[in-house]
Amino acid sequence: MTLLAAEGLTKRFGGVLAAKDVTFALNAGEMLAIIGPNGAGKSTTFNMVGGQLKPDGGRVTLAGQEVTGMPPREVCRLGVGRTFQVAQTFLSFTVLGNVQMALIAHHGQTRKLLADAAAMHRDAALALLDRVGMAAQADRPVGELAYGDVKRVELAIALAAAPRLLLMDEPTAGMAPAERAALMALVAGIARSEGIGVLFTEHDMDAVFAHADRILVLVRGEIIARGTPEEVRADPEVQRVYLGHSGTRAAARARRAAHG
């Protein structure tokens, strides 16, 4: 069943066409990667789906419901969790507090004036942290964590909204290679076990070819190829403009590593 559908998304910045007629669909439990060189329009496309940007043309539907141009907070309430290229967390909160805050927001309790926020949703928050492997660090300020751990916390925050869809903008940017693989494996595991659709952009080809079910290749705002990792890897056009031969070899290696 189609969870997310983007049809003909178009966005201009001044004279530059950042996205042109971008169309794709994503099913529940599926991981869809958007790849492309810098400035290809990945983040633009992403932000149009997440509500951070309003498209000039085209539409986005979530499980059949139109969400085009909705602000992020409303997109979130429809079951979309999101992580950012530069991890966005609440720096003054503890790890646990971050997730509690997300749960408070998810339950629509942000306007409560008298309850003790520190005592709310503790167990649920700990459970979420446990799923991303951060339960042991629950009481540390999030500002003290290594960047890879911050990304995990951000994932837990995104999961707090019980999302049907996760939007992850370069989930592994700025991480060490070992951490990258672990995080992607974690995301893939959660997505498959809970039927959450994941749309992600990524520069790291290892991560893309290891975990994506399908791949879109975006160049200068246009989709130039789409398909399974194998299809994309074999596409001569993609090889010419983007992957190159070294990229192809890396993709094959990553595939082997992930599937034994």
CB nearer to other proteins: pick between 137 and 233:
137
Smallest gap from residue 87 Cβ to other proteins (A) = 8
d(CA 94, CA 211): 31
User: CB within 8 A of 37, min separation 6: which ones?
Assistant: 219, 241, 242
User: CB within 8 A of 220, min separation 6: which ones?
Assistant: 17, 39, 40, 41
CB nearer to other proteins: pick between 161 and 217:
161
**Integer CA distances (angstroms), 141 to 98, 150, 158, 221, in order:** 9, 10, 18, 39
Window 5 to 34, contacts with other proteins (CB under 8 A): none
CB nearer to other proteins: pick between 22 and 80:
80
Window 89 to 128, contacts with other proteins (CB under 8 A): 89-94, 97, 101-102, 104-106, 109-118, 120
Instruction: Give the pairing of strands 197-201 and 31-35.
Output: parallel
Among 141, 148, 195, 247, binds other proteins (CB under 8 A): 141
Smallest gap from residue 90 Cβ to other proteins (A) = 4
* Binding segment (CB under 8 A) for other proteins, from list 68-76, 125-133, 185-193, 228-236: 68-76
Residues within the interface to other proteins (CB under 8 A): 50, 52, 71-74, 76-77, 81-82, 84, 86-94, 97, 101-102, 104-106, 109-118, 120, 141, 143, 157-158, 160-161
